[in-house]
Homo-oligomer: A and B are copies of this chain.
Amino acid sequence: MSMKAEVNAARLLASVAEFAAIGATPAGGVNRPALSIEDRAARRRLAERALARGFTVFQDGIANLFIRREGRNAALPPLLIGSHLDSQPTGGRFDGALGTLSAFEVLEALADAEIETDRAVEVVAFTNEEGSRYSPGCMGSMAFAGAGTAGDWAATPATDGLLLADELAATLAALPEATVGPTGHPISAFVELHIEQGPVLEQEDVPIGVVTAVQGTKWFEIVFSGTAAHAGTTPFEFRKDPMGAAAAAIASLQSTVMPADPAARLTVGRISAEPGSINVIPSSVSFTVDIRHPDAAILAEMEQQVRRQCDEEGRRWNCDVAISQRVDMAPGRFSSSIATTIEDASRSLGLKSRRMVSGAFHDALFVSRVAPAAMIFVPCRDGISHNEAEFVTDAHMISGARVLLAVVESMLQLG
């Protein structure tokens, strides 16, 4: 063999800047909805660069895009790395793109060094991770993991009205260089680099997050119903005030669930009262509850706590309560051996790392159902993501890509 593989920092930063221009927004963010013209442009650019380097490109039935650098033994399942290229409508330039382009940089670094590997290495850009144009998100990785098919979502309308089936066909057709293969081919493992989308790494000044699990998530819509009445003329004992019940339930949950368990998350992001007049006791108050935990049993107990608290306050305030569940996503555990590999790789590069749980969904969550998977997080400024202000320093981008390369080399037993 050959020279040592090295991340080309200038090339990586140029890649990120190049892709940030595809669907760029005036405020410095990116609007690159899944399966849109902009998404197709980004996929084309990546495919062109891959073909120019002599890699092969192919797609699957849900338009996941793969870039393959062949190994000595084409029969071995490839090692998969990558993320996604679609964005939120007012998204940042790093969410998804950084992981995809870092993975491509790893492929180029291996090629630069003329390193031969036994098994192939593949870069993937999963389709529709964000779920903002077509719901649900993580469609590409779900399909890859056998948790759904393009046919299941064919009739899904976009927020702009176009059907998924039509936009999917147009996206596949827009890249005729890439043959369309079966969805969900065997892989040896999957490693995804991604921005943290939270504040922990930055606050602790740690450049590498070793993601050991993804929290499970449950969403609820809760409606307390009472009786609308005049604010001035209705004495306390005649009131059926759903605002009293809602505030008491939220206050109680907010002040107990998270303080008791650092791994627990509970968020009330939306609330409204009907009819919504200053001088009218509401007839109903509706709010959402988002609970998350990496442990499925504890998450289930959190759900019971939400239900018990709402029932109790409903009784106390003479109000009815209705609870409907919107999302129920089980927690995922990543490969502990890959986590150790990421820690070792970080240490060998002189980079501090810390184990952490992802609070957001990621493609790796679904892929982990069919292969060993793990994630590398890099810090983002103020934890801000899904926002045009999303920002990652050059140094953190480069460190992340270097760790990803070292992990790949380790997993391929190189060097």
The interface centre, meaning the residue of A265, A273, A290 with most chain B CB atoms within 10 A of its CB, is A265
A2 CB–B CB distance under 8 Å: no
Write the nearest CB–CB distance from A226 to chain B, whole angstroms.
Answer: 12
Q: Are B254 and A241 in contact (CB under 8 A)?
A: yes
**Segment 166-217 of A: residues with Cβ below 8 Å from B:** 196-200, 203, 215, 217
Contact of A272 among B235, B272, B282 (CB under 8 A): B272
Contact with B along A233-269 (1 / 0, CB 8 A): 1111010010110111011101100110010010111
Q: Is A271 an interface residue (CB 8 A)?
A: yes
Q: Are A281 and B259 in contact (CB under 8 A)?
A: no
A233 (CB) vs chain B CBs: closest residue: B198
A258 to B248, CA, bound (A): 15
CB of A75 within 8 Å of the partner chain = no
Shortest Cβ gap from A234 to chain B (Å):
6
Q: How large is the interface on A (under 10, 10 to 19, 20 to 34, 35 or more residues)?
A: 35 or more
Given A269-B278, A269-B280, A277-B269: A292 in contact with B232 (beta carbons within 8 A): yes
This protein's copies in its complex: 2
Does any Cβ of B come within 8 Å of A94's Cβ?
A: no
Known: A231-B265, A234-B359, A236-B262. A271 touches B254 (CB 8 A): no
Residue A285 lies at the interface, judged by CB distance under 8 Å to chain B: yes
B232 and A359 contacting across the interface, CB-CB below 8 Å: yes
Which chain B residue shows the least CB distance to A215?
B232
Asked whether, in the complex, the Cβ of A234 is within 8 Å of the Cβ of B198, the reply is yes
Q: Name the residue on B nearest A260 (C-beta).
A: B236
Roughly how many angstroms separate A250 CA and B252 CA in the complex, as a whole number? 12
Contact of A243 among B250, B262, B272, B385 (CB under 8 A): B250
| Cβ–Cβ contact B230 & A197, under 8 A | yes
Q: Which residue of B lies closest to A290 (CB)?
A: B231
Q: Does A72 contact B (CB under 8 A)?
A: no
Known contacts A230-B386, A234-B383; A269/B273 CB under 8 A: yes
